[in-house]
């Protein structure tokens, strides 16, 4: 449905023009969703710490990267050192520790 009254739908004489609304916040969230999913494509399962990742689900790595995770956007970075999109190397204040377990 189009979101208006149902009787408008039956009016064959009425002309309709498709419209577009752009929400930059939703666009940024969609891009973050894609980056997050791409980052965890090869090893999507973790042990609950989000630090140890595995290719297959197991007793030691029972959680999928999306289990319990919701990405959202804010006007400011509320957690500047939470590099869940894999961008720790861009953080001057953070030291990336790579023990081979990162996704």
Q: What is the pLDDT of residues 76-92, one digit of tens each?
A: 999 988 889 987 767 77
pLDDT for the residue numbered 103: 60
From residue 13, alpha-carbon distances to 2, 3, 8, 18 in Å are 16, 18, 10, 16
Q: Which residues pair with 53 in a beta bridge?
A: 46
Q: Distance between CA 84 and CA 35 in Å, rounded?
A: 10
**First vs last Cα of the chain: how many Å apart?**
42
pLDDT for the residue numbered 6: 86
> Is 84 within 8 Å of 68 (Cβ atoms)?
no
């Amino acid at each position: 449905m189009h979101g208006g009254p149902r009787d408008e739908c039956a009016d064959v004489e009425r002309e309709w023009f498709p419209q577009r609304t752009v929400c930059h916040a939703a666009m940024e969230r969609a891009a973050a969703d894609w980056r997050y999913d791409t980052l965890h494509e090869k090893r999507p399962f973790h042990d609950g710490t989000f630090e140890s990742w595995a290719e297959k689900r197991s007793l030691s790595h029972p959680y999928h990267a999306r289990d319990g995770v919701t990405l959202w956007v804010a006007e400011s970075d509320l957690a500047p050192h939470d590099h869940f999109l894999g961008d720790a190397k861009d953080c001057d204040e953070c030291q990336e520790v790579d023990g081979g377990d990162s996704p």
